[in-house]
């Protein structure tokens, strides 16, 4: 049996571009892709903090160091420049892999600059 688990997350990324007339996908700064472990062409889920939209697309590499987060194609109707988004990827893990699995979490601040990284989401308090 396999369990679908969070693999990687870019938390509070700021959308820099929305390009409607593009083939599709989400362009992400190559440094952020590498840091998070999200691969080019990997399926990602994007959660728009501003309007609640949630959608699926795939990641493509943007220029390293550009801090670009570009929502392309039809998804450009769901998120625009300035919106804060959470970008997640998930993977299937075997029971044995679950023993040591830790997601790669990258937290961003203004300008899509990394504030910190982690491998665990803090416990939510009551």
Domain around 86: 2-118
Does 126 reside within a domain?
no
- The number of beta carbons lying within 10 Å of the beta carbon of residue 125 is 4
Return mean pLDDT, the chain: 97
Q: Say if 42 falls within a structural domain.
A: yes
For residues 57 and 105, the answer to whether their CB atoms sit within 8 Å is no
Residue ranges of the annotated binding site are 57, 73-75
- How much is the pTM? 0.96
Of the residues 22, 47, 58, 90, which is catalytic?
58
Q: Is residue 35 part of a domain?
A: yes
pLDDT digits (tens, 9 = 90+) for 69-124: 999 999 999 999 999 999 999 999 999 999 999 999 999 999 999 999 999 998 99
99 domain-assigned: yes
Beta-strand runs (E) in the chain: 2-14, 17-19, 26-29, 43-48, 54-62, 69-72, 84-94, 104-109, 113-118
Q: Domain with 61 in it: what CATH number?
A: 2.40.40.20
> Is 18:68 a contact under the CB 8 Å cutoff?
no
| Average pLDDT score over residue span 35-54 | 98
How far apart are alpha carbons 112 and 74 in whole angstroms?
Answer: 23
Q: How confident is the model at residue 25 (pLDDT cuts 50, 70, 90)?
A: very high
User: Binding site for substrate: residue ranges?
Assistant: 57, 73-75
107 is catalytic: no
How many domains is the chain built from? Answer: 1
| Within-domain flag for 36 | yes
Task: State yes or no: is 22 an active-site residue.
Answer: no
The position carrying tokens 């994007």 is: 46
Is 24 inside any structural domain?
A: yes
């Amino acid at each position: 049996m396999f369990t679908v688990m969070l693999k990687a997350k870019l938390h509070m990324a700021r959308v820099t571009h929305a390009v409607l007339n593009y083939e599709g996908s989400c362009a992400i700064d190559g440094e952020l892709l590498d840091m998070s472990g999200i691969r080019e062409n990997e399926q990602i889920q994007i959660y728009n903090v501003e309007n609640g939209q949630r959608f699926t697309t795939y990641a493509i590499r943007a220029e390293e160091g550009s801090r670009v987060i570009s929502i392309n194609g039809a998804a450009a109707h769901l998120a625009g420049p300035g919106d804060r988004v959470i970008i997640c990827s998930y993977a299937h893990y075997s029971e044995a892999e679950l023993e040591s699995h830790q997601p790669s979490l990258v937290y961003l601040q203004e300008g899509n600059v990394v504030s910190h990284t982690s491998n665990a989401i803090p416990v939510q308090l009551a």
